[in-house]
Amino acid sequence: MGERSDHPQGQGATEDSGAREIEATVVLGLRITDWPALRAAARAAVEDLDFEGVDPAEQRRELLREVSEDPNAALGVLLHPDRLVAAMPGVDALGGTLEISVTEDFAPDFAELFPLDGDEEGSGGVGDWTLTPRTACLLHAQLLGLADAAYDDLEEHEGEPVLESEEHEWAVLGRLPTRTWGLHRGWRRSMARAFDDLADDLALGEWPLPRCPAEDIALRMALADARNLLGAQPESVADMMGDLPADLYDYDWDGCLDELFGVYGPEDGDPEADTASRTEELIAATHPEGWFLPYEDAEERDAQRGYRR
């Protein structure tokens, strides 16, 4: 007689060995590094889904809209338990749930993104000046704060006009030129996104170079707020920096004005005027609806990038 084995043998052994119900818990930490690629994958996944019930076409359109605007919705489609299990041979899904939460304390590693000892090409430096980790960190925080405040304005006031003597009741939109005070909700949402677009540049290790008049205004507001915060609350700024390395060019706001503006922008106008003056002339001569049109030599931002709120 042969040696006994505890493993099932013969016809049907594979089915018997797999006939178990298992509850699996998977915890993933994710960082979105390419939102357009994630969005495209999520849209493709939605196109492959089968919808049932009332008006399947409308269900598909609504889900496509959600994944096009919200990274959490895009992840939800791609990480859905049914979709994950479908890629595993020999497994049937018995049900499951998906929970996605945003890590509130996440912050880009500015020391890695803007290395002080990097070469000129890699760090984005021009001559001896460079955007330092601490400057990038403070500017990133101000841009996100302005975006949040602009979205808060929108949620609280919707399409109400900003009234003279009541502009203090608006966190951000009341600080914009008066000719924008009566503009519609869609314009205000695009203005809030301009702050986010520049913050995203920093989070990717890129200099926040304004690509349109709206971003020019947004960056100047963020620089002004960063300067004011540093002057009023230096200890709070120091706490924000943590272990980020210090540098001679930290908080060089004049350097930011010289190096971050004018890479893209208007070339027409008085040749004797500086970049800021030409940009101000363009903004004054252009209806605010045109402030989001990219400068001729700037790369256009992804039109499908959506809004944070």
pTM above 0.85, yes or no: no
Tell me what pLDDT residue 107 has: 73
Please give the angle made by the CA atoms of 273, 131 and 119, to the nearest 5 degrees: 115
Alpha carbon distances (Å) from 275 to 139, 248, 291? 21, 26, 16
Count: domains in the chain:
2
Structural domain range at position 40: 22-86
Whether residues 149 and 282 fall in one domain: yes
Q: Which residues contact 67 (CB under 8 A, 6 or more apart)?
A: 39, 42, 43, 46, 73, 74, 76, 77
The pLDDT value recorded for residue 267 is 63
Res. 1: pLDDT tops 60? no
Per-residue pLDDT averaged across 245-260, rounded? Answer: 94
Task: Compute the average pLDDT of residues 268-293.
Answer: 77
**pLDDT confidence bin for 8, thresholds 50/70/90:** very low
Residues 114 and 81 in one domain: no
Instruction: Name residues whose C-beta falls within 8 Å of residue 122's C-beta, 6 or more positions apart in sequence.
Output: 115
Q: Is residue 304 part of a domain?
A: no
**DSSP state string for 85-110:** HHTSTT-------------TT----H
Domain annotation covers residue 306:
no
Residues 42 and 152 in one domain: no
Contacts of 68 (CB under 8 A, 6+ apart): 39, 43, 304, 306
The region of weakest confidence among 63-72, 219-228, 284-293 is 63-72
What is the pLDDT, as a whole number, of residue 229?
95
Same domain, 132 and 281: yes
In a domain, 99, yes or no: no
Torsion of CA 250, 295, 282, 200, to 10 degrees: -40
Residues 64 and 128 in one domain: no
